[in-house]
């Protein structure tokens, strides 16, 4: 092991989503459109919730933070990915790689926890609607959000520090379009077993605990809905959860595939496609899911449009 190289902070080179130069122009156009939709849809969702008083409820409070989370981790990788499709061998500094990995870790954790809290919110709204405003008070909502951001930041700092205190004394070419943990570990000439154990234990705990929270909340939701006497009431109750269930299924399904598959099925090239899905496509889909399948959001969009026309 070269001690001098170990003590330096190397620049990394991201190999990108494709090494085929003939595909890069088309990929740039596609992902530019995807990223612009992410920006417009998520910023638009945040502004809409902020401006419309009828959306000042716990459900939309958490939804605005979900949009912010989507916007944050997609913006941590999207602009750099687009730049790398235009410029060959464009480096990313050690500090830049550290920050990118930290932002992705932190906001992925935040999204996991937000989806679990949103499931709890739906349970409170359906099980006892008359006490919903009391049970989900503004104080409790801010306590949830503070705890979520604090835990996400702490976990992100721990995982990022463990990944970037390793020794890099060989190639600095990362076979990914962003500074992802498995791809960075492959470049290290240190013993990474302890780092891998701690990193995957931390994320595994957050992932499995939030999934358990969602499942428990929906067990109570189903129990509460079945007690509703009218078929129309049951249908309305289930419809309020449809958007959230869709978002949870897409996001958590991707996370489980990404981090909990057998090691024999691991492939960096396959990881690129999966990473594109959860880092860019999900942040594009979430605001569309919540707007197209949500009557309140569609009505708020109409009110905002009519207000601007007056």
Residue 174 three-state SS? strand
In three-state secondary structure terms, 173 is strand
**What is the structure's pLDDT at 6?**
62
Question: Residues 115-156: pLDDT tens digits?
Answer: 999 999 999 988 888 889 899 999 999 999 999 999 999 999
Residue 126, burial from CB neighbour count under 10 angstroms (0-12, 13-18, 19+): buried
- Whose tokens are 């992925």? That residue is 108
Could you identify the residue written with the tokens 């949103």?
Answer: 118
Cα–Cα nearest to 224, from 132, 101, 112: 132
In 3-state terms, what secondary structure has residue 52? coil
Q: Between 45 and 293, where is the model more confident?
A: 45
The domain in which residue 70 lies consists of: 3-309
- Own/partner contacts of 276-281, CB < 8 Å, gap of 24 or more, are 276/17, 276/177, 278/108, 278/251, 278/254, 279/73, 279/74, 279/77, 279/78, 279/104, 279/178, 280/31, 280/34, 280/35, 280/38, 280/74, 280/77, 280/78, 281/34
Q: What is the pLDDT at residue 240?
A: 74
Q: How confident is the model over 212-228, as pLDDT tens digits?
A: 999 999 999 888 888 77
Whether 265 shows a pLDDT value over 70: the answer reads no
Q: What is the CATH number for 224? A: 1.20.1070.10
**244 pLDDT above the threshold of 50:** yes
Chain length of the chain = 310
Asked whether the beta carbons of 85 and 27 are under 8 A apart, the reply is yes
How many structural domains is the chain composed of?
1
CA 303 to chain centre: 29
Query: How confident is the model over 39-82, as pLDDT tens digits?
Result: 999 999 999 999 988 889 999 999 999 999 999 999 999 999 99
Least confident among 7-11, 179-183, 297-301: 7-11
Query: Is it the case that residue 209 has pLDDT exceeding 80?
Result: yes
């Amino acid at each position: 092991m070269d001690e001098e190289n170990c003590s330096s902070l190397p620049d990394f080179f991201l190999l990108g989503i494709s090494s085929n130069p003939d595909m890069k122009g088309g990929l740039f156009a596609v992902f530019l459109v995807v990223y612009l939709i992410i920006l417009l849809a998520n910023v638009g969702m945040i502004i809409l919730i902020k401006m419309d008083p009828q959306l000042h409820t716990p459900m939309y409070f958490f939804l605005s933070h979900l949009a912010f989370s989507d916007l944050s981790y997609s913006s941590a990788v999207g602009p750099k990915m687009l730049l790398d499709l235009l410029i060959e061998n464009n480096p990313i500094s050690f500090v830049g790689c550290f920050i990118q990995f930290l932002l992705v870790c932190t906001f992925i954790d935040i999204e996991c926890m937000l989806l679990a809290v949103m499931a709890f919110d739906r349970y409170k709204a359906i099980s006892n609607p008359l006490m919903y405003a009391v049970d989900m008070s503004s104080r409790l909502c801010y306590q949830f959000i503070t705890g979520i951001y604090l835990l996400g930041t702490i976990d992100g700092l721990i995982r990022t520090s463990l990944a970037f205190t390793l020794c890099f004394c060989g190639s600095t070419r990362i076979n990914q379009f962003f500074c992802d943990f498995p791809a960075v570990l492959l470049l290290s000439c240190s013993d990474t077993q302890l780092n891998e154990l701690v990193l995957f234990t931390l994320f595994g705990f957050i992932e499995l605990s939030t999934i358990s929270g969602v499942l428990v909340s929906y067990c109570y939701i189903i129990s509460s809905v079945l007690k509703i006497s009218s078929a129309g009431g049951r249908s309305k109750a289930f419809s309020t959860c449809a958007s959230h269930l869709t978002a949870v299924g897409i996001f958590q399904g991707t996370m489980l595939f990404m981090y909990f598959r057998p090691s024999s099925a691991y492939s960096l090239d396959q990881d690129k496609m999966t990473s594109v899905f959860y880092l860019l496509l999900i942040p594009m889909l979430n605001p569309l899911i919540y707007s197209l399948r949500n009557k309140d959001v569609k009505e708020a969009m109409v009110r905002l449009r009519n207000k601007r026309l007056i």
